[in-house]
């Protein structure tokens, strides 16, 4: 075991992103589990004084429970590398690629991993080019989470309002072909695939409300789909994680099946939600792993990425 009881673990949570509220909940659950494991837990609500806070708290290792910008995108990872404080989850580059949905696609496509067609609307141009398959489409920010700013657009008349909505959350936005089939998420823990979860939002769209309101979405673990499709999705999840180099800790690859039952990667989350009822802990539970053991596995995997200087 790398980190033993008494190690000073800083739980970095809250933060500056639009997903702050979700992160506060993840951080609280993680802090509780780390305490049960016997670590000395220091809860740090991250703001621009983070460097001073880390030093003053004499943190030995950081558990990153920050979702979204500054937390999931390589920024905080860079701060921790600079301070030589080992941290959970992927390093700087893998984090920033995974946070950027277009860069993620470029990497995945270079490995022939399927992901929906997309276009990037040109800010200067009056005419918006949409993916060749036409409607329905999904409009979303390139670097956000929790479905913030995401809309499903069924016809041209609704495109402009959807673009404006997405722009509220991110400077860069994207338009994607809508993938109509089953939604699945594949949790990967230290390079191993966990059971798949099928996601069935009650109103059809997996938006912020569907994600965080009790009873708005049904989750089926393990996903009741063909064994061959399960295996294929798990293999693609592992291949995606290898392609991005984001295998440290616990990550989640989101998928939808297309009309031909072919899995399409929607995105990769390098700091997935971590309350006891979040998806990744549910996937671990389906394999008999309780929340505290899961958090122990993740903290024991913490490290630094850059060469020592």
Ligand X SMILES: Nc1ncnc2c1ncn2[C@@H]1O[C@H](COP(=O)(O)OP(=O)(O)O)[C@@H](O)[C@H]1O
Q: Residue 144 interacts with ligand X (CB under 6 A)?
A: yes
Positions 184 through 243 that interact with ligand X (CB under 6 A): 206
Burial class of 114 by CB neighbour count within 10 A (0 to 12, 13 to 18, 19+)? middle
What are the distances in angstroms from CA 308 to CA 2, 84, 304? 18, 9, 9
Q: Residue 176 interacts with Mg ion (CB under 5 A)?
A: no
> Can you say how many angstroms the Cα of residue 32 is from the centroid of all Cα atoms in its chain?
22
Task: Find the binder of Mg ion among 19, 144, 183, 254 (CB under 5 A).
Answer: 254
* Separation CA 176–CA 138 (nearest Å): 5
User: Encoding tokens for residue 6?
Assistant: 């008494």
Q: Which is nearer to ligand X, 60 or 258 (CB)?
A: 258
Q: Which residue has the tokens 């939002």?
A: 201
Task: Find the binder of ligand X among 189, 197, 266, 294 (CB under 6 A).
Answer: 266
Burial class of 182 by CB neighbour count within 10 A (0 to 12, 13 to 18, 19+)? buried
Q: Which is nearer to ligand X, 249 or 301 (CB)?
A: 249
Binding mask 23-62 for ligand X (x = CB under 6 A): ----------------------------------------
Which position's Cβ is nearest Mg ion? 254
Q: Residue 19 interacts with Mg ion (CB under 5 A)?
A: no
146 part of the active site: yes
User: Encoding tokens for residue 144?
Assistant: 């956000």
Question: C-beta of 255: minimal distance to ligand X in Å?
Answer: 9
Taking CB within 5 to 8 Å according to partner kind, which of ligand X, Mg ion, none is near residue 255? none
* Separation CA 159–CA 157 (nearest Å): 6
Q: Which of 74, 87, 183, 252 is catalytic?
A: 252
Catalytic residues: 19, 146, 212, 252, 254, 267, 269, 273
Which residues lie near Mg ion (CB under 5 A)?
A: 254
């Amino acid at each position: 075991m790398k980190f033993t009881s008494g190690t000073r673990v800083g739980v970095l949570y809250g933060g500056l992103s639009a997903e702050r509220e979700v992160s506060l909940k993840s951080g609280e659950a993680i802090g509780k589990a780390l305490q049960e494991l016997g670590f000395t837990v220091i809860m740090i609500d991250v703001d621009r004084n983070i460097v001073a806070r880390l030093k003053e708290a004499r943190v030995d290792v950081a558990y990153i429970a920050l979702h979204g910008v500054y937390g999931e995108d390589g920024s905080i990872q860079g701060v921790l590398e600079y301070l030589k404080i080992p941290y959970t989850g992927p390093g700087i580059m893998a984090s920033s690629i995974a946070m950027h949905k277009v860069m993620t696609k470029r990497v995945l496509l270079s490995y022939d991993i399927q992901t929906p067609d997309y276009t990037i609307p040109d800010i200067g141009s009056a005419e918006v080019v949409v993916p060749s398959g036409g409607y329905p489409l999904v409009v979303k920010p390139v670097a956000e989470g929790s479905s913030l700013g995401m809309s499903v657009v069924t016809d041209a008349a609704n495109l402009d309002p959807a673009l404006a909505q997405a722009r509220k959350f991110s400077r860069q936005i994207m338009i994607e072909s809508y993938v109509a089939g089953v939604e699945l998420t594949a949790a990967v823990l230290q390079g191993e695939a966990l059971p798949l979860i099928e996601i069935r939002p009650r109103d059809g769209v997996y938006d912020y409300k569907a994600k965080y309101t009790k009873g708005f979405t049904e989750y089926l673990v393990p996903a009741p789909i063909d064994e061959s499709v399960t295996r294929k999705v798990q293999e693609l999840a592992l291949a995606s994680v290898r392609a991005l180099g984001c295998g440290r800790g616990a990550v989640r690859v989101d998928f939808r099946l297309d009309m031909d039952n072919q899995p399409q990667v929607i995105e990769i989350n390098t700091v997935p939600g971590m309350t006891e009822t979040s998806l990744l802990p549910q996937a671990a539970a389906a394999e008999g792993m309780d929340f505290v053991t899961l958090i122990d596995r993740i903290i024991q995997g913490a490290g630094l990425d850059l060469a020592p200087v």
